[in-house]
Structure 1
Amino acid sequence: MIKPIARISVAPNLPPELDRLQTLAYNLRWSWDHDTIALFRRFDDELWFQSNRNPVWMLGLVKQERLHHLVEDPSFMVQLESVWNNFQTYMNDQNTWYRTHYGAAKAPYIAYFSMEFGLTACLRNYSGGLGVLSGDHMKSAATWTCRWWG
């Protein structure tokens, strides 16, 4: 087997109007938010499946011409704005299930460890039945906005 000499990571050169896509891609919320998934599929449906439904990888594969085409597409930009506003509301919401039932968190964050989180298929790690369950716990905690890190 030949050992690689170097590893090169290619970062997308997103136009400023599409910078928000990178933030959306790097936050795992996309994996359970149907509007964000629809946005990435609309971005390039074929590439979405080629990248194993991985928006970070997809952004690294997309051609610059496609990016410029999307900037010029008013309906795509409206959809991006809608998804972004929803994301911002979610990230900044103070009126959450957890806060409603338990008030503001006074204790430190909850640390939840599992060697096999099953959050999304594009994260390559072993996920047996308990791994999928621990991934579901993480997703549920995110919707409650518990102070919970995995």
Structure 2
Amino acid sequence: MKTEPLTSAELTDLIHGLNRLARNLWWTWNQEAQEIFQKLSARAWQNLYHNAVAVLHEVSDYELRTRLQDPAFAADVRDVLKRFNAYMEEGDTWAAQNAQKLEGKPVAYFSAEFGLHETLPIAAGGLGILAGDHAKSASDLGLPFVGISLFYRQGYFMQTINEEN
């Protein structure tokens, strides 16, 4: 583990990597990636409902650079970014080996909602969570995949059942 202070270029690379990571949904199903944002600011992570992009906006540049000078934290960030980059660059996926006919022809998945993560409130229940899990699995398999859904402008409606129905 590197113990001397990071250079300006190293800091810039880590900050760029964190921004790239936060803007990709991969972190929503990778526990170690989520822990990076929680370690960066536990208060912001909790108050901003586990939203990585919001955490990076909330944390000052000074605080971010200070946290990244901690050798253990910087090592954790490097490790997560290394795995994220490998995931993004993976060419030898299940789909590449078994579904070559789909290359350039994405699977269209229609669902009323997709439950990907709590920071994207576009699911109200079990089927939305299942659709989100299908989207995550498609990504892990390297399948070309497009999720088509609804987005309620006024939020979700509340449905209740009373004694009569």
Q: Please indicate, yes or no, whether the TM-score normalized by the shorter chain is above 0.5.
A: yes
Alignment partner of 1:74 out of 71, 77, 84: 71
Letter of the 2:41 partner, please give it.
D
Letter of the 1:70 partner, please give it.
R
Alignment partner of 2:111 out of 111, 114, 120: 114
Superposition map of 1:84-123 within 5 A = 84-103=81-100, 105-106=102-103, 108-123=105-120
Superposed CA deviations along residues 28-74 of structure 1, whole A, max 9, x for unmatched, are: 01010111111111111221111100001111111333112123212
CA radius of gyration, larger in: 2
What is the alpha-carbon root mean square deviation over aligned residues? 1.8
Partner of 1:53: 50
Partner of 1:12: none
Aligned-residue offset at 1:103:
4.1
Q: Secondary structure at the match of 2:32?
A: helix
Superposition map of 1:1-150 within 5 A = 16=12, 17-103=14-100, 105-106=102-103, 108-150=105-147
- Ranges in structure 1 where 5+ consecutive residues have no aligned partner: 1-14
Q: Please, what TM-score do these two structures have when normalized by structure 2?
A: 0.74
Give the 3 Å change call, closer, same or farther, for CA 37–104 of structure 1 in structure 2.
Answer: farther
Identity of aligned residues (%): 32
- Ranges in structure 2 where 5+ consecutive residues have no aligned partner: 1-10, 148-165
Q: Please, what TM-score do these two structures have when normalized by structure 1?
A: 0.81
> Paired residues, what number?
136
Aligned-residue offset at 1:104:
6.7
